[in-house]
Structure 1
Amino acid sequence: MTDLLRPLEERHTAGDLLAEIADRAPALGGNSGGWPGLTFYRYTRPVAPQWEEVRSLSLCIIAQGRKRVVADGRAHAYDPFNYLVLSDRQHFTAEILEATPARPFLSLVLQVDPALVRRVSADVLDRRATTFDRMARNQSERAFVTPLDCTLMSATLRFLRATGTGADRRVLAPIYLAEMVYRILQAEQYSRLLEIAASEVARNPVSEVVSYVRDNMSEPLTVSDLAERVSLGPSAFSHLFREVTGKSPYQFVKEMRLNRARDLLIEKRLSVTQVSKAVGYASASHFINEFRGRFGATPRAYSDLRALRAEFGVRNG
């Protein structure tokens, strides 16, 4: 199809994508993309091979320059004409091959929820769960390079522009992101993308984290640490966690700590200091303030009141 015959919204060029990424990557190195798991990169000189890691299924697109990635012993070179897909928990070496101050290396990396890959594939091609299970057991390559065609480039550009405004971000960005996945699935790499997604979608990162928090409540628990346990970036993890639970990871962990503290005060008659340490508070005063905020009384007053009610109930039983 010639450019004149394409819908107006698809008449985007590599120059449009270059301008968008250049604007979103003002600083050298990584620049936050304002969307969970989206990062823009700028380099003005070649960079020697160095070890890197991705924590989720990731789409890597270059607008200017060249890069080489070595994953699982295989080299993958890509440029503005090709994109790279990497699986989760992938350790690799990355080397910037072409970059100058006049023509800086410009790229983006977008973490993609593997469940979205599965959902789009099922909607379009009616692939069933057994297909994914079989693929997960027979996983082969965990990284691949494929040509970047105009349809994927256009969908990517519309997605990036939609993330810049509030209403578009909420309504259009998820639609364009799904279109990006659809365009990748239309390419020759359909089965390989599904293999990667299937290996990840079987995991339930939120469930993993909740179980871990429950079993390790006395330990320091930061959002970054929890995200790392399930191989996600903090931003992508927080977004997913809120979608599933309706609460931020911080709020959820705090409520779990305080609910457990209440149970300990009632069941074991521990001191306030003992309880605060048992549920992961380094400061007893901080624990007391947060407990009062949640239950309307200090831990000691709450414990004494419950004990008094229990004793009164026994005497009058």
Structure 2
Amino acid sequence: MSKQQIRQIIDHRLTQDGLVETGVRGVQLFRVTESVRCAPAVYEPSVIAIVSGAKEAILDGTSHVYDSSRYLVCSMSMPVEAGTPMASPENPLLGVQISLDTKVMTELVIETESAAGAIRTPKAGPLPQGIALAAWNDTFTDALLRLVELVDNPLDTTVLGDGRLREVYYALLKGEAGDSARRAFGVGNEIARSIEYLSDHLEEAVTIDDMAAQAGMSRAVFHRRFKQATTMSPIQFVKSMRLNNAAMSIAGGKSVNEAALGVGYVSTSQFSREFKRAYGQSPRQWSNTRQLAAAVT
């Protein structure tokens, strides 16, 4: 019933396609009725919970479809292809997008792991991946409902918003994607730190050695652990992050040259070659045929 109540709130709040702010920082409601093929995007640390329809994110060739039975948690910035291939006026995509605040998430992870009697996840073994799907459970659903119920009451939003957002974060940590989030925001978050460093320095010539240094690892160890967490090699990941950000910039109206320089390419011709190899179109063809999708990315 709680999930249906969330849908009713979104339905009432959004009568047209788009994103709306809720008044709680980093929390947005969205509605999409247009089928959009998957296109390059960059998922920032966030939770995307859908109460109607389905959305797809493709990471390194693997499709992740999430809907009203599974929500998506992205615990690190990740280059993906995202779209709403099944959305239609008869079957709208409705949901909530929540940015994960690094400071709050880190505090919660430390608190839960240091609490008396807490069950600590062993740090050995493969790293959980940066994108994870989790089944909706009562704890998460109830916390999300309590958060979106604030949407039409500015006073309640101001007074209660941060606390209820914290409840959603906590429900996430207790859910199936909790391991991924703990490894990104708690002790052992070296890979997440290196990705954050890359995201903050995309316009610079960041090397794999630079990223390994941020993680405090040798190049060989960093390569192995990075691939465990992202499914991609560091070189492949860096290229995908640069090209996906550039594709989004071009779709948003920037010139090819501006987009290339903005993600660290000094040679426009090299950028154009790698772009066409990745997406099957030159940057100019892309800019002529691609508009910003109505879908949430």
**1:58 equivalenced with 2:55 (yes/no):** no
Contact 2:53–2:93 at 8 Å: present in 1 too?
Answer: yes
- The structure that is helix-richer by fraction is 1
Q: Within 5 A, what are the aligned runs for 1:1-317? A: 12-55=1-44, 57-126=45-114, 139-198=127-186, 199=189
Please say which structure displays the higher CA radius of gyration.
Answer: 1
* Corresponding residue number in structure 2 for 1:221: none
- Preserved contact between residue 49 and residue 95 of structure 1 (Cα < 8 Å): yes
Residue type at the aligned position of 2:4: G
Q: Which runs of 5+ in 1 are unaligned?
A: 1-11, 210-317
Q: Deviations over 1:260-301 (max 9, x none)?
A: xxxxxxxxxxxxxxxxxxxxxxxxxxxxxxxxxxxxxxxxxx
Distance in 2, Cα, partners of 1:73 & 1:109: 23
Q: How many residues matched? A: 190
5+ unaligned residues in a row in structure 2: which ranges? 201-297
Instruction: Using the aligned pairs only, state the percent identity.
Output: 22
Which string of whole-angstrom CA distances, capped at 9 and with x for unpartnered residues, describes residues 71-98 of structure 1? 2433211110110011343221112132
Q: Equivalent residue of 2:85, what SS?
A: strand
TM-score by length of 1: 0.53
SS at match of 2:139: helix
Q: Distance in 2 between matches of 1:139 and 1:25?
A: 39
TM-fit CA distance, 1:163: 4.3
| Superposed CA RMSD | 3.2
**Residue pair 1:71, 1:92 contacting (<8 A) in 2 also:** yes
Q: Which has the higher contact order (CA 8 A, sep 6+)?
A: 2
8 A contact 2:73–2:177 mirrored in 1: no
Aligned to 2:262: none
The one-letter amino acid of 2:154's match is G
* Matches of 1:139 and 1:192, distance apart in 2: 8
- Classify 1:186/1:69 alpha carbon distance in 2 versus 1 (closer, same or farther; 3 Å): same
CA distance in 1, matches of 2:43, 2:176: 23
Structure 2-normalised TM-score?
0.56
SS in 2 for 1:67: strand
Taking the aligned partners of 2:29 and 2:176, their CA distance within structure 1 comes to 26
The ranges of structure 1 where at least 4 consecutive aligned residues each deviate by more than 3 angstroms after the TM superposition are 198-203
